[in-house]
Structure 1
Amino acid sequence: MAATQVLQSEWTKIRSVASTVWTLGLAAVVTVALGILISLLSKNDFDNLSENDKLSFDPTFISFAGMSLGQLAMIVFGVLVVSNEYSTGMIRTSLAAVPQRGTFLFGKIAVATVLAFVVGIITSFVAFFLGQAMLGSHKASIGDPGVLRAVIGGGLYMTLIAVFSMGVATMLRSPMLSLGILMPFFFLISNILGNVSATKKIGQYLPDQAGSRIMQVVTPIDDDTPYGPWGGLAIMVAWVAVAVIGGYVLLKKRDA
């Protein structure tokens, strides 16, 4: 099967499964809604902040506060795109139609990545503009130094979370096992490692913590992270590459 046919086939598959479409919509709604709420609360609480916190106040990053929950839906989307075929048994039919497993996998990932990026970039811009509207006089402008980079970075971050999840799901095959590992990894382990002083230096190299730096404009005063926004994104890309390559290697080696 030609590459263009594979892409069309994968696009049809993703579109025809309601759960994958719904999770993308949920990622957008949750990210924007929570960002608006946190921005409004931050504006009302600004006068109560310490001097250091006022100096570290990052209106752009605050409007992305909903990403922490929005990425949950992106993880589910990435897992479902890959593991739906395993749970339904359709994977045998798919691999019979596209025997070149690399073409099959990268076609699937390419279509899902474009979809995730479109949703991610729209979500990021909407979250930014609505969040800034809530912040009133404390808001940032899209033309301020570093802001446009952070907003585009928000879209890239959401996309990379989805692609990382696709790689992990390709390795594990089971949707329950994939979600059972990814959810605690991002919502428990990463937070614990990142907030405990003894393990903070390890935590800052995890994909979500490194990648989220791209969305920061103001660096906190006591911050000692050894990389900047683009360095953090590069670390996240490296994690994603390892996950996807791992998925590809295992897909090539084992039976459907």
Structure 2
Amino acid sequence: MMTTLTAPMTASGRDADLLGTIRSEWIKFRGLTSNVVLAGFALLLLIANGVAMPWAYVFRDRGSPQADYDAYAEMIVDKTGYVGVILAVLAALLVTNEYRSGQIRTTLLSTPTRIPALVSKATIIAAVSFIIGVISSSIGFAIAPAILAGGGYSYQLEGAEALRLIGGSGLYLATLSIIGIAAGSLIRNVVGSVLTTVVFLIIVPVIPQMFSEYGTEITRFFPIQAGSLLLAPQGTDPMGPWGGYLVLAAWAVLLFTAAAIALKRRDA
């Protein structure tokens, strides 16, 4: 059952301070069972991927040319972006469920300037997503060497690369979730925001490849494709890991800014 809570007011009694609003959003987030279930499901999928990928490598069909490659650390996190769509959908639901229930009026009454409410929702889901990414990748990297060693395989993972892949998993998921918050705020409808988030992140990037000879080049700059470079082997793309992440971050900033402007201008 959703917990209804108005955020603490400032000294003027007209607005909520940001920390108070964040605390309020956290209580609302953990008070709704579906939020916890979806977040937990994403965590379990990412952990399962981190375990399944080294197992798949050990038991791969060695006669297949596609299986003729050395083990590499990035295989543990290479599906993170697609599982992250679940967290982006969860983020969209954080906003749209309030519109559906009418609780958004209480939220905006507590934060008349509106932007702190949106920032607080983004902060909560980004923090949850970051933690999920760090925990799941850490578990994957802790377990994978033993699985690979059972088949006589191994990979090299230096400290800087471990930091990029573990911390990058958290950053990647956190940034995807902000795109979900923006979609939910812009569209407001539960079904519409969920479909838009999924279509934009997964389906739209494929379309340029169907209609343009430059489609592959264009696809590189969509959120999941660009952001995934942060978790890919070095040299995968000229943008590099952090260049790819900056493209993802630019998408998040652009969409979140649009959502903030729309929230300020439209009626609840």
- The counterpart of 1:234, out of the listed 246, 250, 257, is 246
- Cα deviation, residue 147, structure 1: 3.4
With structure 1 as the length reference, what TM-score do the two structures score? Answer: 0.87
Q: Is the 8 A contact 1:31 1:123 kept in 2?
A: yes
Q: Is the 8 A contact 1:193 1:202 kept in 2?
A: yes
| Code of the aligned partner of 2:259 | G
Give RMSD over aligned pairs. Answer: 2.4
Change (3 A) 1:148 1:217: farther
| Code of the aligned partner of 2:87 | M
- The counterpart of 1:203, out of the listed 219, 240, 243, is 219
- Cα deviation, residue 237, structure 1: 0.4
Residue 197 of structure 2 is matched in structure 1 by 182
- Cα deviation, residue 250, structure 1: 0.2
Report the more deviating stretch, 92-101 or 237-246: 92-101
Q: Which of the pair is proportionally richer in helix?
A: 1
Change (3 A) 1:116 1:36: same
Q: Is the 8 A contact 1:78 1:166 kept in 2?
A: yes
Change (3 A) 1:31 1:171: same
Please give the per-residue CA displacement for 1:26-46, whole angstroms capped at 9, x wherever unaligned: 111011113322321122227
Distance 1:228 1:250 in 2: 33
Residue 89 of structure 1 is matched in structure 2 by 102
Unpaired runs of at least 5, structure 1: none
Alignment size in residue pairs: 250
Distance 1:84 1:58 in 2: 43
Change (3 A) 1:131 1:190: farther
- The counterpart of 1:125, out of the listed 123, 132, 138, is 138
Change (3 A) 1:53 1:250: farther
Please give the per-residue CA displacement for 1:176-219, whole angstroms capped at 9, x wherever unaligned: 11111121222333356579964100000001111111112354
Report the more deviating stretch, 211-220 or 195-204: 195-204
Change (3 A) 1:79 1:156: same
- Cα deviation, residue 10, structure 1: 0.8
Q: Is the 8 A contact 2:78 2:228 kept in 1?
A: no
- How do 1:1-256 and structure 2 match up within 5 A? 1-45=16-60, 47-48=62-63, 50=65, 54=69, 57=70, 59-136=72-149, 137-143=152-158, 146-191=161-206, 193=208, 198-220=214-236, 225-256=237-268
